[in-house]
Amino acid sequence: MTGATRGIGHVAARRVLAESPQSHLLVLARPGTPDVVRSFGADPARVSVIDADLASMGSMQAAAFHVAALVSDGVVPPIRVMALNGGVQHTNALTVTEDGFESTFAVNVLANHVLIRLLGEDAAPAAHTVVTVSDTHFGDLRHNLGMVPGPRWADPQTLVRPGAFPRPARASAGRMAYSTSKLAGIYLVHAYSRHFAGDGTFHAYNPGFVPATGLAREAAAPARYVMRRIMPLLTLSPLATSAQRAGELLTDAMFAGNAAPNGAYIDRGRVVDSSPESYDIGRETELWDAVESLTAPFLGPDSDRQ
């Protein structure tokens, strides 16, 4: 799992450990994250923490190699489920990673791709991968309450660089980068289900609007206050999902396996269609070619499974 140290991922991790006693949980977390194992309230022997910075493709490569070595050495069994739940939303579209990529795209798209490509050979037969996405990719009032601008698609070689959106220094550009990255995540889930057909299942999971998860931790103080203190009241209505419920639904999605079609979009426990825009095969192909090229230096010569 990525994104398991807080929010819905933490809820999901605790539930996996509580309800699947034979499971061993591999948590990819930023170096220095405190008390990760203790926070799960489970036998520490059932949890391994792997250092991983999702903003660094070299770090993701090293984390994948670490996991592969644990599997190869028999320390842990082959991977049955990958939950790629880590994500970020910045207050601008100018934040740059050490690799020169725009951070939102790097964390929400490229990091997942590196893990999926490098760990495919270490997965059990019929393994299942879940990528957490967002209904902000619809870009309409019904799905995002007007808080997040809809995606603005462009050549992926542009999207991966800082300044890809209008007024890139503004928070609206950061939110647009976020919704666009989540649309990209859905395109890639469709691509994985095509390229790796027969090697497992791939699903996109939408938790809905989940206030108070820490995603807006970079926002200005008034916005953080609203997200922490006021927006959680919306969880009493169908407009928002509590972190507890979203984590439980993430766990359900993790163990859905073949219960949902390969490439499906799971919206809070239901298989539904994602946005019409997300089924553009031309964009999907363009994005696949781009991420393969962008991450090629981190995949190595043996990662050509297609």
pLDDT in tens, 102-135: 999 999 999 999 999 999 989 988 899 999 999 9
Q: Is the pLDDT of residue 291 over 50?
A: yes
Q: Which is more confidently placed, 64 or 228? A: 64
- Averaged over 23-43, what is the pLDDT? 90
**pLDDT of 305 over the 50 cut:** no
Strand partners, 131: 84, 204
What's the average model confidence in pLDDT over 283-295? 98
Q: How far apart are CA 38 and CA 253, in angstroms?
A: 25
Please compute the mean of the pLDDT values over residues 19-36 and round it to a whole number. Answer: 90
C-alpha–C-alpha distance, residues 16 and 13, integer Å: 5
Confidence band for 207, pLDDT divided at 50, 70 and 90: very high
> Stretch 220-239: mean pLDDT, rounded?
52
Q: What pLDDT sits at residue 226?
A: 45
Question: Is residue 216 predicted with pLDDT exceeding 60?
Answer: no
123 in Cβ contact with 82 (< 8 Å): yes
Three-state SS for 75? coil
Q: Tell me the pLDDT band of 241, cut-offs 50, 70 and 90.
A: confident
pLDDT for res 237: 53
Buried b (16+ CB within 10 A) or exposed e, 165-188: beebeebbbbbbbbbbbbbbbbbb
What does the pLDDT read at residue 225?
46
Strand, helix or coil for residue 47: strand
Q: For residues 36-53, give the mean pLDDT.
A: 93
Element of type H or E holding 134: none
Question: In whole numbers, what is the pLDDT of the chain averaged over residues?
Answer: 90
What is the rounded CA–CA span in Å between residue 61 and residue 72?
16
- Left (φ > 0), alpha (ψ -120 to 50) or beta: where does 28 sit? beta
> Range with the lowest mean pLDDT among 97-111, 135-149, 274-288?
135-149
Question: By the 8 A CB rule, do 230 and 99 touch?
Answer: no
227 has a pLDDT exceeding 90: no
